[in-house]
């Protein structure tokens, strides 16, 4: 089970902020020197953490000079902070929903848009694009060795939770050897997997995701590169190829 500091960093605090926040909760009010000593953190670093905690609404100060003391906001305020952030994001989403059709009309009508991404951050950006697809549907072709099979546990957890929260459903064509665990009934429902036809086994080296009017091609985790193509024509071509493979695929059975 995760410890308190790990949960606080998952919430959005730095390790230093989490340590200072926990130390500050032990007393109703503390000086920066006292907090520094109790937390085992240098005083300049403690002052910086206190400033950022105040910016986040998790600490307050009163007094001045030698009488300046800091108090931590009640842990009950953490949920209120999240609720306010959700409200802010929902307002932003509402504005974006209004802006998109207006801005799209002003864009040049380019038939094809191709973007190339490098490195872990770049590949994750392509995955984010797919996670937030408009249709909520993927068609995916996955070789045994692929980005999703290799990324770290923390990102894997985020990815799975986000996909479930977004309700993204898929038709999945897998190379034998996937997945590396027994799927639950819910996972089978969400992923709708089939085995690639024998003739296509080991034919794919990159992961391919089809969604909306886009095609995402993602290399192995070792190569960490991706291409995102926005084109109804190219997407349609890949869809025809996917349907041919899908119709020749065998129902999923654990290997």
pLDDT of residue 181: 66
Choose which CATH entry (1.10.10.10, 3.40.930.10, 1.10.3720.10, 3.90.220.20) describes domain 4-74.
1.10.10.10
Residue range 134-152, pLDDT digits in tens: 899 999 998 888 777 777 7
> What residues contact residue 9 under an 8 Å CB cut-off, 6+ apart?
15, 18
129 touches 214 (CB < 8 A):
yes
45 touches 23 (CB < 8 A):
no
Total H helices, total E strands in the chain: 10, 10
pLDDT of residue 65: 75
- The answer, yes or no, to whether the previous bond of 179 is cis (omega within 30 of 0) is yes
Q: Does domain 110-251 have CATH number 3.30.70.20?
A: no
77 touches 58 (CB < 8 A):
yes
Cα separation, 71 vs 54, in Å, equals 10
pLDDT of residue 109: 54
Where in the chain are the domains? Answer: 4-74, 110-251
Average pLDDT per block of 10 residues along the chain, 255 residues long: 74 88 89 91 92 89 84 84 83 84 64 87 90 93 81 79 90 81 80 90 91 92 87 93 94 72
CA angle 169, 223, 198 (to 5 degrees): 55
223 touches 122 (CB < 8 A):
no
Cα separation, 15 vs 174, in Å, equals 40
Phi-psi domain of 147 (left: phi exceeds 0; alpha: psi -120 through 50; beta: other):
alpha
């Amino acid at each position: 089970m995760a410890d308190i500091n790990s949960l606080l960093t998952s919430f959005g605090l730095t390790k230093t902020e989490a340590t200072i926040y926990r130390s500050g909760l032990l007393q109703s009010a503390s000086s920066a020197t006292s907090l520094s000593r109790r937390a085992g953190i240098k005083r300049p670093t403690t002052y910086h953490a206190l400033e950022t905690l105040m910016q986040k609404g998790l600490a307050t100060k009163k007094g001045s000079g030698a009488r300046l003391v800091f108090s931590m906001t009640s842990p009950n305020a953490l949920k209120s902070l999240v609720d306010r952030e959700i409200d802010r994001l929902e307002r932003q989403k509402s504005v974006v929903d209004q802006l998109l059709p207006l801005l799209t009309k002003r864009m040049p009508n380019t038939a094809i848009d191709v973007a190339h991404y490098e490195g872990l951050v770049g590949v994750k950006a392509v995955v984010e694009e797919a996670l937030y697809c408009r249709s909520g549907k993927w068609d995916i072709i996955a070789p045994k060795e692929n980005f999703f099979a290799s990324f770290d546990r923390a990102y894997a957890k985020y990815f799975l939770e986000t996909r479930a929260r977004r309700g993204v459903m898929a038709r999945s064509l897998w190379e034998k050897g996937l997945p590396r665990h027994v799927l639950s009934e819910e996972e089978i429902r969400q992923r709708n997997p089939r085995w690639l036809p024998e003739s296509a086994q080991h034919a794919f080296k990159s992961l391919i995701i089809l969604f909306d009017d886009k095609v995402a091609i993602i290399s192995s985790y070792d190569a960490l590169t991706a291409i995102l193509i926005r084109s109804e024509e190219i997407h349609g071509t890949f869809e025809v190829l996917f349907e041919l493979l899908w119709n020749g695929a065998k129902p999923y059975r654990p290997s």
